[in-house]
Amino acid sequence: MKKWLYLIADFSYGEDKIKAALEAGVDYIQLREKNISSAEYLLRAKKLAKLTEYYHTRLIINDRMDIAVLSGAQGVHLGQEDIPVRDARSFLGADKIIGATAKTAEQAKRALKEGADYLGSGAWFPTDTKKDAVSISEEIYREILNTAPIPNVAVGGITAENLRKPLECGAQGLAISAGILKADDPAAEVRKIRKLLEGEE
């Protein structure tokens, strides 16, 4: 089964870097914006929706169902403090992708039962993107995988240098932010990670 390359982005990295990563080929891109108005969030989401349509990449919006619907994104990713997956599924219907953060087997079990399509679990490594992220152990990660047999994307400080560990544990994909977008050449970084992912299959 093909492993996902899942890019987490915000416009602070620069539109050119995001575009370069998309052009090199990612399967999903999650727009995660903080501390901006809803109006600005929607503008950025609509702009990214046009880019993802051109590059045939699925667009996921972090936290905000309303932004996901209004921008034409393919789905939404929900954290533990966001709207419950069951309510999101009821509102969005069967066609939208719903991802959920799961840091424990219990959270994974609940998300699966409520209709999540995939899970994001971490943090695998220290990350500047989320300074308060709590690290996950291999044991807990394997418990999550065993509890919820849907795709699981490993997240948190992942780079081309350290990605083997989550893959060896059974991750279906890798969610990467700074590990791609902080690189001088994001496209080259995407291609490097792609080769490593293909080598794991």
Instruction: Residue 149: give its domain's CATH number.
Output: 3.20.20.70
Domain that holds residue 194: 4-200
Residue in 156, 102, 166 with CA at minimum distance from that of residue 127: 156
Helix, strand, coil distribution of the chain in percent, nearest 5: 45, 20, 35
Task: Please give the single-letter amino acid code of residue 106.
Answer: E
Count structural domains, the chain.
Answer: 1
Q: What is the CA radius of gyration of the chain?
A: 16
pLDDT (tens digit per residue) in 30-39: 999 999 999 9
pLDDT (tens digit per residue) in 60-91: 999 999 999 999 999 999 999 999 999 999 99
Q: Is the dihedral angle over the CA atoms 67, 73, 76, 77 positive or is it negative?
A: negative
